[in-house]
Structure 1
Amino acid sequence: VPEKLPVLPLKSTVVFPRIFIPLSVGRRRSLKLLEDLPPGDRYIAVAAQLDETAEEVTFDDLHHIGAMVRVQHMLKLPDGTVQLAVLGVRRIKLSGAISDEPYLTANIKAHPEVVDQQPSIEREALVRRAIASFQQLVALAPQLPAELASAAGAIDEPVHLAYYIANHIRLTTDERQHLLEMDSPREKLEKLLGHMAHELEVLELGRKIQSQAEESMGKAQREYFLREQLKAIQRELGELDGDQAELSELRERITKAGLPPEAQREADREISRLERIPSASPESSVIRTYLDLMVSLPWNTSTGAEVDVAKARAILDDDH
């Protein structure tokens, strides 16, 4: 590890050792840093910012545990930004600032993870658990390509596996940084198992909700088509359902009631409305009651009594 390196501050990104990651660079000092890199093997230090929104940062504005990376590819875009592809080489500690201009340069030290004093059988069991959880997550998460599962299965080193999983699952920048700073590979994997268990629970619940919604929608659609098919069959057979039979009976009662022309027109209008609205609606009940009343009135029955309009008016005037 060199004693000093130029430092590229990162917003919302943590680079892990042995992990390949793309970066986008657009700030003045960062572009100058890339411009000054020598040809051939190009190594820089990267560290996440404490404040992800800050544009101009100093040594004290960075997390001091970061990574030494090798710049694999560099492409300058028409808008002036540069797209990088970097490979994390090792974990490092930024031990002190050297300069802020023309870009940040710092003293660095290697900061390797500790070797866990853990029986090999326990280490293997932990690795298998982590791989199994990650593969289950890949199977459920639509944004994770299926090939990630087989690639994880080929990793048997705890540190490498932890960084590989952390690079692909849903974690905040602070959670990624915390994982990078943890010294114990065992603790890294155990922490990731907790994150994956939570994510799996969320995905399972989401899938259950989606399945229930699709099932409910499918059931409603099936019921609709079955009802339409039943109506078509009844029409073919000349049969009527309960509502249609009731409407037919009501029409027959209206016809037999011998309504006066004006009342007949009103009854015809209301029964036409009744045919167009759902039988379960409150309006349907009101119309049926109204029509029942109309046909029950004695339209053609007379008592034979003489009606004295003048006398009736006089009585009403006296009472009121």
Structure 2
Amino acid sequence: MADQQEPTQRLKLPEVLPVLPLRDTVVFPFIIMPLSVSREKSKAAVDAALVDHRTIFLVAQKDKDAEDPGLEDLHEVGTAAVIMRMLKLPDNRIRILVQGITRAKIKQVKRKKPFLEASITKLEEGDFSKDSLEQDALIRNVRKGLDRSASLGKPVASEVMVVANNMENPGRLADLAGSNLDLGLSDAQELLCIQDPLERLRRVNDLLYQELDLLVMQQEIDSTAREDMDRAQREHFLRYQLKAIQNELGEGNELAEEVEELRGKIAVAGMPQEVEEEVSRQLGKLERMHPDSAETSTLRNYLDWMLSIPWSEETPDNLDLKKALQILEDDHYGLEEIKDRILEYLSV
């Protein structure tokens, strides 16, 4: 979601916060995000945060399947966040809207019933120069990449583009762009751990253009599939029309049945690909012809001949030279030189 005004201007960050472990989500500073909470300890942590400062520590689990995570199950770096809104759902879950405040690191986790509490240290943002050519180039590149991803069909909200186009802080832009990428947990956590703004923007730029490559490839696959489907639908429609016209004229029923029978035989004949393509092309010509034309008979004979060839049948080689000589002598009188050449070929 879009980056908003800095909540740190309004809130003083407590040193100890309730902990909300997240199974497969990383929340970045200044980013507003909805979260669904179902575990009893997590709901208790939310209740405690709402009572005291409305501030909570969001941290990703190392193993998303861990039901009761402890210190060893949590990443060291997370995000202190403010709970903006809470809604109780009929299925006993709660829905909260949070906004990240700052990166923070766990110093110590206390298992306090019925939820975890952590003492945290705020991770200060590194400095950046306003007169860096590399920084300016990266900012332009990331803005361009976000715009390109939206044009390729990725759902990027218009307000995100407005904020990105007016964002000059490289770290904030990196967090905004990162929150709008389809990142795996490891990549998102890696991004959260990078304190240097320019280094974080470099990493986001790499991840953004990796995603763009995937989006382009996906669009090409979709386009090819759509073209194939359109072509198949068009051919089906044209065949249907052709049959309707032939039925109306009282012709072509017998030929149409013959073509379908031949098409089935071609499919199971085991022909080499190039041969099958040519035979199918000739069958298509037959399908379009008048049943009584002279060329129809020629094509029928051609197709029958091609189908009579045992394309997928093989016989074992018999290299018995004495038997071969006997067959040659029985079937052919004279021609001794030719017989010798045949036997010489077989012997090799």
The TM-score normalised by the length of structure 1 is 0.70
Match of 1:47 in 2: 59
- The one-letter code of the counterpart of 2:84 is Q
Match of 1:149 in 2: 161
- The one-letter code of the counterpart of 1:16 is F
Match of 2:35 in 1: 23
Aligned counterpart for 1:180 among listed residues 192, 209, 225: 192
Q: Distance in 1 between matches of 2:303 and 2:60?
A: 73
Per the TM alignment, residue 104 of structure 1 is displaced from its structure 2 partner at its CA by 1.1
| Post-superposition CA distance 1:177-228 (Å, at most 9, x none) | 1100012211212112211212111211221222223233334444555667
Per the TM alignment, residue 3 of structure 1 is displaced from its structure 2 partner at its CA by 1.9
SS of residue in 2 equivalent to 1:104: strand
* Equivalent residues of 2:145, 2:209 under 8 A apart: yes
Q: Distance in 1 between matches of 2:303 and 2:234?
A: 31
Q: Distance in 1 between matches of 2:63 and 2:224?
A: 42
Q: Distance in 1 between matches of 2:43 and 2:228?
A: 55
- The one-letter code of the counterpart of 1:57 is P
- 2:60 is aligned with 1:79: no
Per the TM alignment, residue 29 of structure 1 is displaced from its structure 2 partner at its CA by 1.7
Structure showing greater radius of gyration is 1
SS of residue in 2 equivalent to 1:97: strand
SS of residue in 2 equivalent to 1:36: helix
- 2:258 is aligned with 1:277: yes
For 1:241-280, list aligned pairs within 5 A. 276-278=257-259
Q: Distance in 2 between matches of 1:96 and 1:83?
A: 27
* Equivalent residues of 2:23, 2:65 under 8 A apart: yes
- 2:139 is aligned with 1:158: no
Match of 2:145 in 1: 133
| Post-superposition CA distance 1:107-144 (Å, at most 9, x none) | 11110221135733332221111111111112113444
Match of 1:206 in 2: 218
| Post-superposition CA distance 1:1-31 (Å, at most 9, x none) | 3221121111111111000011111222222
Distance 1:141 1:181, change over 3 A: same
Distance 1:102 1:153, change over 3 A: same
For 1:284-295, list aligned pairs within 5 A. none
Match of 2:205 in 1: 193
Match of 1:58 in 2: 70
Aligned counterpart for 1:116 among listed residues 113, 117, 128: 128
Unpaired runs of at least 5, structure 2: 1-12, 267-299, 306-348
Per the TM alignment, residue 232 of structure 1 is displaced from its structure 2 partner at its CA by 7.8
Aligned residues with identical type, % of pairs: 34
Distance 1:171 1:276, change over 3 A: same
Q: Distance in 1 between matches of 2:54 and 2:215?
A: 41
Q: How many pairs align?
A: 258
Unpaired runs of at least 5, structure 1: 245-271, 290-320
Match of 2:15 in 1: 3
Per the TM alignment, residue 97 of structure 1 is displaced from its structure 2 partner at its CA by 2.4
The TM-score normalised by the length of structure 2 is 0.65
Distance 1:59 1:222, change over 3 A: closer
- 2:107 is aligned with 1:95: yes
Q: Distance in 2 between matches of 1:118 and 1:287?
A: 76
